[in-house]
Chain A
Amino acid sequence: KNQVEQSPQSLIILEGKNCTLQCNYTVSPFSNLRWYKQDTGRGPVSLTIMTFSENTKSNGRYTATLDADTKQSSLHITASQLSDSASYICVVSLSWGKLQFGAGTQVVVTP
């Protein structure tokens, strides 16, 4: 069964602090892994996309890592800002293009 599991389910962090979100997957055959940010009441916005040969990719204060051997990915947020409050979704793409979604991690950044 293809699954994408994210942890933690939610977290609260102080503005300016760093945090790391985890994603484990059992999806096969794997094409690429994406991280999306979804603000409440909005559609997901792509942060990073990585193929199996890429270990890390950055987008501003967001850095994603991928270990295709252990089937784990992480998203690190550096120097968090209030605008980072959102749901972060890990999405794995199967080789034929279908997306498998994680349940998301709800991040709340407090002043």
Chain B
Amino acid sequence: GAVVSQHPSWVICKSGTSVKIECRSLDFQATTMFWYRQFPKQSLMLMATSNEGSKATYEQGVEKDKFLINHASLTLSTLTVTSAHPEDSSFYICSARDRSGSMKEQYFGPGTRLTVT
């Protein structure tokens, strides 16, 4: 089946620093990737939609200057949390939409646990 990887799987950083998270579709091409954030015991919340070669579309309330998204190729999207603060600590999950297939299935990555101290 389709595989989406994320790197790193967990990261601890100091307040004020920036952190980059990578999302890769390993065996399919994804013109669209999605970034979600999940707080404990809550469901996934969509942050932004990333289309290859164009600017990301951010959901209401998500600061685009704080959460920088780059989708440089059909298999890679990156999320950079700039000037991280403790309230940015969360579980970040990406998903990639397989551009082939009628269902346009989304495959989720394993997630990245970010802890800001």
Contacts and interface: CB of A to CB of B under 8 A. Distances in A.
Interface of A: 32, 36, 41-46, 49, 89, 97-99, 101-104, 106
A89 B113 CA distance: 20
By DSSP majority rule, is chain B's interface helix, strand, loop, or mixed?
strand
A89 B44 CA distance: 10
A78 B92 CA distance: 31
A111 B107 CA distance: 31
Interface size classification for chain B: 20 to 34
A45 B46 contact: no
B74 to A, nearest CB: 17
A43 B43 contact: no
B97 interface: yes
B104 A45 contact: no
B104 A41 contact: no
Q: Which 8 A-B pairs have the closest CB atoms?
A: A43-B108, A101-B43, A43-B110, A43-B111, A44-B108, A103-B43, A43-B93, A43-B109
